[in-house]
Amino acid sequence: MQLGGRLMYNKVRSSCLKRHLIDGFLYFNYRKIMAVLISIIAILLIIPTQNVEASTGSLSMEQSFVSPNSSESFTVNNSDTYNVTFDITSVDMTNPILVINVPKGINISYYPTASNATLSPTLITSGAVTNQQDENGNTVLTYRFNSDMTAIGFNITLMPTYKLDETTYTVSANYYDGETIISSQSKTVTITNNPTLKPNIMSMSNSKNSLIFNDEVSEYYISCRGYIYYYPSRANHYSYDYVEYTVPLPDESVPGLGSESSFTAFEEGVSYAIGSGTTAYSVIYYESYNYMNSAGAIVGNGKALVYILPSTHTFTSGNTSYTFDHNIYLKLTVTEPGNYSKNIRPQVKANVDGAGIVLLDHVTYPQGYSVYSSNLVGCEIKEYNISDFFYA
């Protein structure tokens, strides 16, 4: 009986001892964990909170326009401009850098350089201001400031050009401390009117071909020289993908290279390369061609020369005019005097992203070539009259 009681006592004592050991272990670990947490909190309290954009610098950007232009509606004329103003601040920045991106087609008419009296004291001594183009033709202005610069403001002047589509463009600016971006800003301008993307803005002129009828001759050779031009002048106009110049020809004519004994007629439907370099183009002769105006109406049918000027051509890429003065002639076969012309003005059509813009449209004139000679291709063959060679 005593032995059983002692065994029971020992079990209870052993159980109590285990419980005290566990409680002690847990208490010790609790204190250890709390000590670690307190240490971590203390370290975090020592480290200051950093808000880069709020405490080290700021960038603001504003646009200003002269009426009637605005950011929502800008008409391009290759002279009107607008201003973009930048204001930056710095508290503890070590390497402030402002990078301004201007889209291709918007020219920078003015920007302050490193010699600017207001800006100069805030800039680094070497390579402070750079003006470069990226691989896409966009302009990148970069300003590098001293570490002790606290605040500065300046503006640049921008001129949208004829090179722009009628859409929205974005001028952006990024403000850095070294390689760390502090702030980004952007402003847009919408081009709502580019005259060089509008129909019927061109004119043309052809040298008048006037010959004396000779009843012993049935073949006459006349020049296909033509002159197309913007009126008013549109230098550096939109860079078209290509331009087509369609010339209605007299029914009695055949086009070719050279004249008289050197004349070589064009074959129908064959593309001929004319010129070289930036004045190179191709021309195709059609014996039956529908002259279609900008409204989609066919104003006539007959022979035609279609000149195709590629994007590399001086006129297509931006020149305000071009003269077709290569060695292309018409051989006119007739047996009597008269006005030999189709009485339909040539057409100039530009292609932009797959869409055609008629810059000079077909116009049908009544009979009477001499009255409209500058707008038509052909020849007036007259009977000899001595009075034509004298003036009152």
pLDDT per residue as tens digits for the range 208-261: 678 888 888 889 999 888 899 999 899 999 999 999 999 999 999 999 999 999
Pick the CATH number of 196-383 from 1.10.10, 3.30.420, 2.60.40, 3.30.1340: 2.60.40
pLDDT value of residue 280 = 97
Q: What is the DSSP letter of 262?
A: G
Residue 290 contacts residue 298 (beta carbons within 8 Å) = yes
**pTM summary value:** 0.77
pLDDT of residue 392: 52
* Structure confidence by residue, pLDDT tens digits, 25-65: 444 455 555 654 555 555 444 444 444 344 489 999 999 99
Angstrom CA distances, 174 to 100, 127, 136, 286, stand at: 7, 18, 18, 56
Superfamily of domain 52-193: ntegrin, alpha v. Chain A, domain 3 (2.60.40.1510)
Q: What ranges do the domains of the chain cover?
A: 52-193, 196-383
Closest residue by Cα to residue 161 from 103, 203, 111, 231 = 103
Contact 236, 208 (CB under 8 A): no
What is the structure's pLDDT at 316? 97
Rounded (10°) CA dihedral 188, 192, 196, 202:
-160
Q: Do domains 52-193 and 196-383 have the same CATH topology?
A: yes
Whole-angstrom distance, CA of residue 17 vs CA of residue 14: 5
